[in-house]
Amino acid sequence: MAAIFRPHANVAAKAVLLGLALLLLTGTAWWWGYPRTDYARRVGYTIDQPIPFSHEHHVAGLGIQCELCHSTVEVSAKAGMPPTYTCMTCHSQIWTNAAVLAPLRDSLASNTPIAWGRVTNLPDYVYFNHSIHVAKGVGCSSCHGQVDKMALMAKAAPMTMQFCLDCHRNPGPQLRPESEIFNTEWVRTTTMPSPAAMVQHYHIGGRNLTDCSICHR
């Protein structure tokens, strides 16, 4: 039978097919992988704020407690942002004429809260609650990093579903004593009770923390 295609057409066709397969594969990998990169998740990036507020200065420098400004973190789903008068307890006396604080004075005068931008934001279809994490031995820095080292706030963790599940599968090693919840420098040491003992201490168990309905309700 006469060959319609010459032998090397076969090779070319294979090469084209292989090329297409590779393109599909890298395309899929990119489509799936890119949204999960730290770049796409804005990890480590700061955002513009009405006032360049520094946690480094106020937390590490002045030693102000998280709860003074994020006062609902232990009792409600939201940590909350400080109202203007919290800043004014000090700034009605210090830096009263500073230009950077003009938005603060405007906010007080016009009785409108400062519109702080957000670096951590979950989609609406995810349920999250601060108070239970705090009550069960999960500290701020496990999710927000060392904010006392941040001159400007940046997101420390990707906040993907994977990030949440990594801990929900096995929270023990990340649980800390009650006294360390707000400590941004905390790391697990060998003198601490075992992860299993921490899990027992906080009465964790009895429900499966990876069930979809825990976070999607």
Near ligand HEC in 33-72, by CB under 6 A: 49, 51-55, 57-59, 62, 64, 66, 68-70
Phi, psi of 37 (to 5 degrees): -75, 155
Q: Is 153 in the site for ligand HEC (CB under 6 A)?
A: yes
Taking the complex as a whole, the smallest distance from the CB of residue 117 to ligand HEC amounts, in Å, to: 7
Near ligand HEC in 103-142, by CB under 6 A: 104, 116, 118-123, 126-130, 132-134, 136, 138, 140, 142
- 11, 39, 107, 182: which one contacts ligand HEC (CB under 6 A)? 182
Nearest Cα to 44, choosing from 146, 155, 170?
155
Taking the complex as a whole, the smallest distance from the CB of residue 40 to ligand HEC amounts, in Å, to: 10
**C-alpha span between 212 and 192 (Å, rounded):** 32
Near ligand HEC in 7-26, by CB under 6 A: none
**C-alpha span between 24 and 30 (Å, rounded):** 10
Q: How many CB atoms lie within 10 A of CB 118?
A: 10
Number of residues counted as binding ligand HEC (CB under 6 A): 75
**C-alpha span between 131 and 76 (Å, rounded):** 5
